[in-house]
Amino acid sequence: MIRTEKILVQTKGENDIVNVTDIVRAKLAKSKGRDGFMILFLQSTTSALTIMEFEDGLRIDIPRAMSRIVPKSIEYEHERAYHDGNGHSHVKASMIGADLVLPFKDGELLLGTWQQIAVLEFDVRPRERSLIVQIITE
Amino acid sequence: MIRTEKILVQTKGENDIVNVTDIVRAKLAKSKGRDGFMILFLQSTTSALTIMEFEDGLRIDIPRAMSRIVPKSIEYEHERAYHDGNGHSHVKASMIGADLVLPFKDGELLLGTWQQIAVLEFDVRPRERSLIVQIITE
Amino acid sequence: MIRTEKILVQTKGENDIVNVTDIVRAKLAKSKGRDGFMILFLQSTTSALTIMEFEDGLRIDIPRAMSRIVPKSIEYEHERAYHDGNGHSHVKASMIGADLVLPFKDGELLLGTWQQIAVLEFDVRPRERSLIVQIITE
């Protein structure tokens, strides 16, 4: 059985990270799925989806590391056509990725103790993101 | 129902990016799948699969960023045994990844407006890549 | 049909890479699954899962590249609360990711010739890692 839904996730701007673990867990609970997996897919090219320990330090460290690796201050060809100042955001998003697959069993997501599901906003302004949640059960 | 196929993707050499969105969509249309998801898996250790806005600027920016992060000019231990000049290509490929999962509904891939599926060639010469496409429906 | 199991993977410390291809293949063989896919999910925020050519050179090159990109020597906010010296490990793990999806057909994983499944230990000491293996067949 396959059930597909969309969650809207509001971000606060560049380098904001939103913890979506609780809302994703609530979707699983509502589906009453016992054994199966969830597909999460973020419909965006300037934000990304990852697993992290969601704590105040890493909420700074992860975006800071990405900004050191893909600096905003250098020139991007993307700007020549678009002039929207987010060339670096696209590069970061394509490096991290937009999809996640999460197994569950007995109705519980099989996340490790410290694992949380996070939407990383890399774009230069607040955005409302569409997160597809697909729940697959036997 | 699970249907598995292989697509051959010809790349033009190092840092070429091939947009496979149309061919992947055509496979989905042909399968007549309504609700489900696709697994894409690239059978390679020197190229990668990602989601991006496929436009001329980013086709330069993304490989350029990867080459700044993982420079071709430094030494790689991989060379000691292989001498094929692609140590950096392997590192980039393992960072980005070879698999993607894409949900669909009512026969349509649930991609965002700007999202395209891209094969990133990191190897130092043109290659023919095998892309596994698996379509799973209820 | 969905079958979910856990594999324990012992790592030897920072930058160790463990090839889990054979043990994952054995799980598939034991399941007698013919056509389908496997979901691998590592229950950790300081190690990661990727595909690579598993050879002595790249076992050095990949962790070395990650350490150049995300240096251990700089300060991480994560340390202020935790003092466990692994802020960089968390960042690396979130960049590479904890999940993989692998199609199989006729009972064989559809890996390319050089592709192996690898657990990358980024934490600063040996750890026992829990790897969820979910096998889905028609």
**CATH code, domain with A62:** 2.60.120.460
Name chain C contacts of B119, Cβ cutoff 8 Å: none
Query: Is the pLDDT score of B65 beyond 90?
Result: yes
Taking alpha carbons only, the member of A45, A38, A51, A59 closest to residue A130 is A45
Q: Decide which of B73 and C81 is more confident.
A: B73
Closest CB from B2, B90, B134 relative to C53: B90
Tell whether A108 lies on the interface with C, counting CB pairs under 8 A.
Answer: no
Strand, helix or coil at C28?
helix
pLDDT in tens, A2-57: 999 999 999 999 999 999 999 999 999 999 999 999 999 999 999 999 999 999 99
Which domain does A18 fall in, by range?
2-137
Residues above pLDDT 90, as percent of chain A = 96
**What ipTM was assigned to the predicted interfaces of this complex?**
0.97
- H/E stretch holding B26: helix B21-31
Tell whether B124 lies on the interface with A, counting CB pairs under 8 A.
Answer: no
Name chain B contacts of C136, Cβ cutoff 8 Å: 136
Per the listing, tokens 């596994």 go with B132
Residue positions counted in chain A: 138
Q: Cβ contact (<8 Å) for A61 and C97?
A: no
Q: How far does B63 lie from chain C, in Å, by closest CA?
A: 16
Q: Cβ contact (<8 Å) for C2 and A56?
A: no
Torsion of CA A51, A53, A57, A61, to 10 degrees: -30
Name chain C contacts of A112, Cβ cutoff 8 Å: 42-45, 130
Interhelix angle for C56-69 vs C87-96, to 10°? 110
Name chain A contacts of B52, Cβ cutoff 8 Å: 45, 90, 93-94
According to the model, what pLDDT value does residue B82 have?
87
According to the model, what pLDDT value does residue C120 have?
98
Instruction: Give residue C115's identity as a one-letter amino acid code.
Output: Q
Cβ neighbourhood burial of A8 (10 Å; 0-12, 13-18, 19+):
exposed
Taking alpha carbons only, the member of B123, B121, B120 closest to residue B85 is B123
**Given pLDDT bands bounded at 50, 70 and 90, which one contains residue C81?**
confident
**Given pLDDT bands bounded at 50, 70 and 90, which one contains residue A81?**
confident
Taking alpha carbons only, the member of C44, C86, B94 closest to residue A52 is C44
According to the model, what pLDDT value does residue B116 have?
98
Closest CB from B60, B97, B112 relative to A44: B112
**Given pLDDT bands bounded at 50, 70 and 90, which one contains residue C125?**
very high
* Domains held by chain C: number: 1
How far is B52 from A105, CA to CA, in rounded Å?
Answer: 33
State the chains in contact with C (3 or more Cβ–Cβ pairs under 8 Å).
A, B
Name chain C contacts of A113, Cβ cutoff 8 Å: 43
